[in-house]
Every structure is written in structure tokens, then in C-alpha cells.
Amino acid sequence: MTRPPRGTGLSGSPVVPRALSHSGVGRHTSVPPGDRLRVLLVEDDEGDAFLVGELLAETNSMIDLLVATSLSEARQRVMGVDCVLLDLGLPDAQGLDGLRQVLEMASGAAVCVLTGRSDEHLGIVAVAEGAQDYLVKGQVDGVLLTRALRYAVERKRADENARRLREVELRQAESARLERGLLPQPLMSTDQVAVHTFYRPGRHAALIGGDFFDVVQTRPDRVDLIVGDVCGHGVDEAALGVELRVAWRALILAGVPDDEVLPALEQVLMSERRLREIFATVATTRLDLDANRATVRLAGHPPPLLLSGGKVAPVPAPSGLLLGVRPRRPVAFDLEFATDDWSLLMYTDGLIEGRVGDGDERLDVPGLAGLLAEPGNQSVPLSDLPAWLVGRAEQINGGPLADDVAMLLVNRGGGR
């Protein structure tokens, strides 16, 4: 086939000097700059396919053209292309059915459709179906064709960026709703103790994880606290953490005997988890304010730290088994406070799993106690102490902590 005279379009028809598609792109004398593109032309007419290649070549378009003569052949060649230029009349697909199949097989690529003059209405419908643009045979030259393909790719990228942004916004909104369930306001009225709460997500796209805490006062002299951590990160783990936190509050308010609370919580975990491998760690503390004592129960969780008399020490409670691994009642440990001036720090393991220096050594519980015992922290207000601890842990780690961190700091006496 001989090349048509310069100034003619597909099928040798005169070029119409107007917008080539629904988008209103006008005719210009230059091609927009950009990276090299890979375009797959799906066209069974050899003459039209030849002309497309010629038009792109004459404009130095920086476009690598691949050709498929059917939809089945296109399916084998579509991988890695930036744009698909699709004829709506193919041997194995007609009209919008072919477009829908291309949109499904090339979800990451832009799509432009080719229509005849009598079928221009199909181009408009094709854009409504998801194509980025349409071209009418006989109304396009090399410059307009190149511009249309590049604009289609840019529109597709803009659409993808907008979609990703929307997904991020939805995840953030979802995380905010879950956070309200994981991190409630303490349900207490006493002024004998003060409770300071803290939460920070790990570096996993700032998504909330399965860490949770709660504080409930059931009598003037009794305050119950819990800190827990569902293994994993993401919406499912956070939702399970919410269920466990709500179940714990309900059990405490219902007056369930202390020894029955964590076994009941484990039943909730085992019935609601999506995988049998999912477990949780929990630390609970019951404060008896009149007797100035506490009862601590641990289920695979790091022990609380007691700050009293200028000293810092882990509460020596038995660690117990993880919830959801092998049901067993955690052992209660009674803690007698020597004075009326003390603080108790409960936390999740994200705080102590950061590295110390360049090696594999972790901060761990002794390292955390060492941070609290540093002379410089005596001037830190108690309400700011959790955030200060995370800052020091990140400084030692050499960057943000990988896991979520939740903390409860309960204080009696107002001092350190």
C-alpha cells in the first residue's frame, strides 16, 4: 500500500482541522514532550494499521507501536503497554463488548478507541464506559494522533493517582473510626489516681494496628486497666482489637469474677479471629485504692514498670501464655505499693522491640527501665512521659519504630 499524501488521515480521508475527540483537543504543530510510550494497536485492517505507524513515524512521536489483529492476540501482547488503541470492529469482538474486555485485561493502561464517521456516537459511549478518549477515522493526522495518545496516558495516570488518593483517604477515615474503638476515653471519676494515655501507629503507612487499651472504674476504690496487642497490622487486626476491648469492658462492668475475665476474652478471640494463627497478648491491672495495692495478670505480655521512690523496676508477674494459643488461666500477682506516691506504666511491645545501635540487640524491658531511670527525665511532666519515651526509643533505634505503640501511665501522689 502506498503512503497517502501528507495532510490526509486514516483510510486516506482529508484531515479535518478541528478537535479530534470529545475532549476538545485542538490541532497544534508540535507534539507534547514525554517519556517513550508503548502503544498496542488492535486493528484488523492492515491498511489502517500501516497508516497509524506512518503517522506516528512522521512526527518523531517517541512511541513504540505494537499491533494485534484480534482481541485474542491483544491479550497475549498487552502486558507492559501504556496505551491500547482499539478498533471497535474486530473479528472476535464488536463494539463495546471488545472495549469492556480490553478494560479488564489492561486495567493499568489507557484506552483510546477508533470509530468510523457513522459510529462516532460509539466513541462517546466508550468514554462513558471507561475509555480515556476516542478518535474518528478520517479525522486525524500524526500530530493529533500522538497528542491524543499522550493525553490519554496522562489522564489515565491522573485517574489512577486520584483513585489511590481516595483509597488513602478512605483508609485514614476507617483507621480514625477504629481508633475510637481501640483507644476510648477512660471510664473513671476518681481523683485519687491520674491516667495518661498514648498511642502511635508504626511506620506501616500510618495504619492503625491491633493495639488497644481501656480504663474502667467500677467502685470508688477499684479501677481496672488493660493493655493488649493483636498480632499483625491492618483493618482486620484493628477490628479484632476493638472487639476484645469492648468485650473486656463489658465483662468488667458486668462484675464477672477476676479469674474468669481473661478466659472469656480468649473465647471471644478464638471465635472472632479470621485465622487460627492469630493470637493476642494482654496485661491487666486491678487497682485497689483503699488498700494501695494492685493485682496484675499477664498473658504473654511484657510486664508493667513500677516507678516509686526514685527507682524503676518491672513488676515480677508470671508472663503466662498468649491468648488464643492454649487456653489457660493467667496467674494473678499481687503488688503492694510501699508509698502513696507511685506510677505504673503499661505498654505494648512495639515500645521495646526497637534496636539498640547497629546490631541486633533490642531495647527490651531492661532497656526501657534504664530510659526511665535516666537523670534527665526527672523534669519531664508525667503527661508528656509516654511521648518522651517513644522519642528516646526512636532515637536509639535510629528511626521510627516498626510496630504500633500503646501506653497507659497511671499515677498516684502526683510526683515521680
- Taking only the tens place, the pLDDT of each residue in 213-254 is 999 999 999 999 999 999 987 778 888 998 999 999 999 999
Is residue 299 helix, strand or coil? Answer: strand
pLDDT greater at residue 86 or residue 327: 86
pLDDT band at 329; cut points 50, 70, 90: confident
pLDDT band at 207; cut points 50, 70, 90: low
Which residue carries 489483529 as its cell? 69
- Taking only the tens place, the pLDDT of each residue in 91-123 is 888 878 889 999 999 888 999 998 877 777 888
- Taking only the tens place, the pLDDT of each residue in 178-199 is 666 677 889 999 999 999 999 8
Cell (9 digits) for 269: 478471640
Q: How many CB atoms lie within 10 A of CB 38?
A: 16
Amino acid 272 reads E
Cell (9 digits) for 248: 473486656
- The topology under which CATH files domain 10-161 is Rossmann fold (3.40.50)
**Over 50: is that where the pLDDT of 16 sits?**
no
Under a CB-based contact definition with an 8 Å cutoff, are residues 295 and 334 in contact? yes
Highest mean pLDDT among 21-25, 54-58, 348-352: 348-352
Q: Would you state the pLDDT for residue 314?
A: 96
Under a CB-based contact definition with an 8 Å cutoff, are residues 152 and 110 in contact? yes
Helix, strand, coil percentages for the chain (3-state, nearest 5): 35, 25, 35
Q: Would you state the pLDDT for residue 7?
A: 37
**Over 80: is that where the pLDDT of 31 sits?**
no
Q: Kindly report the CATH number that applies to the domain delimited by 183-412.
A: 3.60.40.10
Cell (9 digits) for 50: 500501516
Average pLDDT, rounded, for the chain: 85
Q: Which residues pair with 408 in a beta bridge?
A: 197, 346
Under a CB-based contact definition with an 8 Å cutoff, are residues 304 and 343 in contact? no
Domain residue spans in the chain? 10-161, 183-412
Indicate the length of the chain as a whole number: 416
Residue 156, Cβ density class (10 Å: 0-12 exposed, 13-18 middle, ≥19 buried): buried
Closest CA to 88 of 46, 56, 130, 135: 135
